Each structure stands twice: as structure tokens, then as C-alpha cells.
Structure 1
Amino acid sequence: MKLCRAEYKTIVKFTEQLRPTRQCMKMLKDKFPNHSQSTLLSIFSLEYQKRMKRSLVKHHTPDVIEDYYQRYRGEAAKRPADPVMLELANEVDLSPSLLARLLLERFLEEQEGAVSSKQVLNSMLREPSLIPDLQLARHVDQCTINDCCYGPLVDCIKHAIGQEHEELLRERLRERRLSFLDENQLRAKGYDKTPDIILEVPIAVEGHIVHWIESKASFGDEHSHRTYLNEQFWSYWNRFGPGMVIYWYGFLAELDCQRDRGILLKDCFPSDIVTLCYSMGSC
């Protein structure tokens, strides 16, 4: 789905009042029933991550972390059955998973007298049962489960969705009997930085030649697309020629402005493909 800038800004404006909880998705879907839940979640996630990046510094000072930790400990002692860490995250406007990480790191420092390694910290966040304090473990788990933008659970879901859409792309190419090499095959040949698909015989889509295809299981907003252009797409263009990017959850329509320079944007696998054999009259 392509969104015009005005429509996109309306959605973004509404997301400013939301927190990364499961309830926020129902609110988004009720407000914008004509958009898919996947598109709305992707837009919200991108906007929320921008919000967190702007405010993260103020949450990471030693004094602030100590204040959060003591407040959490005090509330957990008074109300042991309540989701006090999740409530604190909402109160201070910080991602529940990010707050859980800060408080767990502070707890481990208190227990061990030193800063724990990232490996230990990450393993406990992925598997809270490893945390020696059962109450803290339960609260960390609550934050992880209820955060739809950050945390190990979200990372796993995003990875799985990305893999699913890459396989969907391969299926569409096989259905059209198009010969291609995927990312794993390209790496086996020694390529270090590659798109998801290289077509062994180029195709034409809407009058534009396509040598490669990149799959993005997300919404293409201005910030992420600009980052992808600088870090991925232009390097693919330099190495392999013109290509196509599929933003499966839609994109800002105004971003599809590089077609003449060799980068085409789509929100689904195109149906109007012209193959070399077709154009030569041999198929």
C-alpha cells in the first residue's frame, strides 16, 4: 500500500499518544480500519523507535537509572503481584524492554559488584528464568511480552517475518520460472554485501530493467528508506545495475522517485513482468 504524505502524517500524529503495548494495535486498527494491521504496526514501530532514540540519553544517566531502580524496588516490595516495572515504563515513557534491560543490569551490578557482560545480560533477557531473583524475572518477562517494538521476542518475530517474506519472494520467482540466485548462494560465491535476489536473466517491470530484488518486511518511511539507499541500495546499483525494492507493508508514495536512476519501489510482487524470452518472441 502506497501512502501519500498527508495520510502518513495523520497516522504518525496519532501514534504519538501510544505506548508499545498490545492494546495500542487495537487502537490503531480502530482508528484506521482501511489499513492492514501489519502496515500500522510497522509505522508505529518505526516512529516509536525514533522517539526512543531522541529521549534515550536522559534515561541512561547514573542518577536516573538509580532513581528508576529504587522506585521499582520500593513498588515491587509494596505490591509484589502487580506489574510494577511495566507501569514504571509507561510512567517515564520508556520502552518496557529497554527499562527491563536497565534495571536488570543495575541488579546484576549490585549482586556481583561489577558490570555484567553483554552476553550474560542478553541471555537473561532472552530467558528470564536465568535471573536469580524470581520477582525480578517475572517483571522482566512481563515487559518483554508486552513490548511490541523492542526486546528479544520482537527481534525473533521480526527475523521470522523477514525470512517468511524472502521465501514468499522466492516462491513468486519460481512460479514465473525466473532463474535467480538468493543471498545464501551469492555469499557462497564470495559476495559479501548482496541484495536478497540476483536475477540471472534481467526482467522489465513497468518499463524499467530489474537485475536484483530486495525484500523489506516493513513500511518504507523517509528515514529508513534514506538509510537503506545510502547503506544498501546504491551499492547494489553500483555492483549489479538497476533493481527493485519490495516494501511488503507499503511505503511513502513520494519516495518512489529514483526509477530513472535505477531503483524501483513496489509494495507487492509485480504482476506485469516482461521477461527477455517474452520480449524476443521465443516464449
Structure 2
Amino acid sequence: MSSEALQVLSRSTYSSICECLKNLPFRNRPQRLKALFPHVSLDTLKCIVAQDNQRRMKNFHAKLTTAEAIEEMYHKYLKAVNSGEEPGILLRISDATGLTPGLTTKSIIERHHQVFEKSKPARSLVSNLMRNTSLIEDRDLAFESYLCLLEDDDYGPIADARKQAVGFEFEIRLRRELEELQVSFLHEDHLRARGYDKTPDVKLEIPVAFDGHVINWIESKALFGDEESHKGYLKEQLFSYWNRFGPGLVLYWFGYVEDLEKYHQNRKILIRDKLPKNIISLHTTFAQTTICFDNCDER
């Protein structure tokens, strides 16, 4: 990723990206967007696409997975297999319906097992089959499911594992950068051990300052911060941190839309896409000031 690629987007740029998304095919959209917005980070575009997919599924999943819709998809799948179509059948069905590959696979697996069990299979069984498609006895369905789960960046066990790994990677990165800056902190495991229920990723043992602001905690988000998601985090997490610990910092590592801080209701919660390097420890500042006064007294 180029160091010059944008991650912090103006509202007009973000709106233009969202408008373009409406007219693009459901797969490979980040690469298509990169051609249209070459100045924007590809990682940022991937996050925006993921958020759009999640919201689209939230709004249309029920409509796309009615009994009639699943029956039609299953009939098309069987017909394609029986006629010897090349692999990628479920991916093509996913493209045609707008249901993500992972959710398409889940629906077809459930429908396939209904044939043998005469009822909807247990959720645990479906989850196990999606985690390990080699357990699916039907060879064609096993391979088709595997292809779909590889292609879906948002739904399914592979996508979940990837998100978890990326989130953990950036939490570790935050800790390392704070250690390099010699900033003392407690992470959420320490805080939970002390009995806190809602905890930020990092609680600073001694407040630090940068750009004229003082902060007491840092929350790491390995995603893009748009208006809807940020409002949700404010309500579910960030206001609680502010009420308990005071001013803090949210790191949206893959960027954010400008002016999100206007939703903070006069609470000091800063937003950045990287940890500032001009952090000043208040402990260090106090020590330096004390030394200065001591030297002045000696003179």
C-alpha cells in the first residue's frame, strides 16, 4: 500500500464511493473501486465494501433466503451439477442472487441435508460442515462449498478467522508502538482481571498528551470508521469508556470519514488512523519541570 494513499476521506469522496458500489457486481468490488479511486487505500476500500455487504445482508437476507428462494437455488444447483457444468456453480448462483457466497453455501447445505433428515439440520452440524467442508459427504457440494467460503471475505469461518486475526494483529501493533514510545499501559486482559466489565484495548497508567489534547485510554479498531458504525461504537462502548476513564483515542487503522467527532456530545474522544508519534508523557513532562525548578533553586 502506498504511503500516499488516502485513508481519511472527505464526506463527498465517501459518498461517491458508496454511490459507485450500487452499480458494481458483488464480487471483486475493491479492485474495481481502486480503478475508480486510485488515490484511496485499497485496504480502506476493502473495509468500505465489507461494511456495505454486511448492511446489504442485514436488510435483504430474509428476502433472499425464503423457503421459495432457497428451493429455487437448490434446484438450479442440482440441475447444473447433473448437466456437468464446470466448478463454481454456487459462486455463479451467489452472483445472480446477490446473496454472499458464504451465506449461499449455508443455505444450500441446510437444504441438501433436509433431503436426508426430513427436517432442518441442527445449527451445530451446519457450522461443523462449513468449518471443515471435507466432512460433507457429497463430493460436488463439498468442493463447491469450499470455493464459496474461500471467496467470501465477510461471512463464514474463513472470513471470521481472518477478521479475528487482523483485529488481534493491530492490537499487538498498538502495544508495541506504545512500548517503543515508553508509554506505560494496561491492556484489556489486565483490566478484566481487576473486575472491569467494559474495557478499552489500552488504559494508560499515566495520561499522555498530543496535539494539545490529553488522553487516558485507546481503542483499536481494525476497520474503517463511517458514520453508522462510529455511532454504534459510541453507544455500545466509547461513551462508557469516557464516563469511566475520561478522554480517549479511537484508532481506525483503515481510515475514517472526516468530522465524526461532531457526534461526541462534547465528550473528548479523538479519532486517528495511526498512533501519533508526538505523544508526550505527562509523567515525563512533570519530571522535567521538577528538574528545571530544582536547578533554578540551586542557582
TM range (shorter): over 0.9
Percent of paired sites with the same residue:
39
Q: Is the 2:203–2:218 contact (alpha carbons within 8 Å) kept by the matching residues of 1?
A: yes
Count of residue pairs the alignment pairs up: 282
Structure 2: runs of 5 or more not aligned: 1-6, 290-299
**Structure 1 residues 200-279: aligned runs within 5 Å:** 200-257=205-262, 258=264, 260-279=266-285
Q: Is the 2:242–2:267 contact (alpha carbons within 8 Å) kept by the matching residues of 1?
A: no
The correspondence for 1:152, drawn from 147, 152, 157, is 157
| C-alpha displacement of 1:35 | 1.6
Matched, 1:198 2:233: no
Cα separation, 2, equivalents of 1:253 and 1:193: 27
Q: Is the 1:178–1:199 contact (alpha carbons within 8 Å) kept by the matching residues of 2?
A: yes
**Structure 1 residues 100-119: aligned runs within 5 Å:** 100-119=105-124
Cα separation, 2, equivalents of 1:259 and 1:231: 15
Structure with higher Rg: it is 2
Cα separation, 2, equivalents of 1:25 and 1:261: 35
* Letter of the structure 2 residue corresponding to residue 183 of structure 1: E
Change (3 A) 1:161 1:174: same
- Range with greater deviation from structure 2 (42-51 or 212-221): 42-51
Structure 1: runs of 5 or more not aligned: none
| C-alpha displacement of 1:90 | 0.5
Cα separation, 2, equivalents of 1:17 and 1:194: 40
User: Where does residue 161 of structure 1 map in the other structure?
Assistant: 166
Matched, 1:10 2:16: yes
Q: Is the 1:161–1:217 contact (alpha carbons within 8 Å) kept by the matching residues of 2?
A: yes
Cα separation, 1, equivalents of 2:20 and 2:85: 34
| C-alpha displacement of 1:282 | 2.1
Cα separation, 2, equivalents of 1:58 and 1:71: 18
- Range with greater deviation from structure 2 (33-42 or 10-19): 10-19
Cα separation, 2, equivalents of 1:156 and 1:20: 21
Change (3 A) 1:20 1:122: farther
| C-alpha displacement of 1:130 | 0.7
- Deviation sequence 1:82-123 (CA, Å, 0-9, x none): 311110110111111111101111112222222222221111
Q: Is the 2:252–2:272 contact (alpha carbons within 8 Å) kept by the matching residues of 1?
A: yes
| C-alpha displacement of 1:207 | 2.0
- Give the aligned CA root-mean-square deviation in angstroms: 1.6
Q: Is the 1:20–1:149 contact (alpha carbons within 8 Å) kept by the matching residues of 2?
A: no
Q: Is the 1:80–1:135 contact (alpha carbons within 8 Å) kept by the matching residues of 2?
A: no
Matched, 1:123 2:128: yes
Taking structure 2 as the reference length, the TM-score comes to 0.90
- Deviation sequence 1:147-166 (CA, Å, 0-9, x none): 22222111111111111100
Structure showing greater relative contact order (alpha-carbon pairs closer than 8 Å, 6 or more residues apart): 1
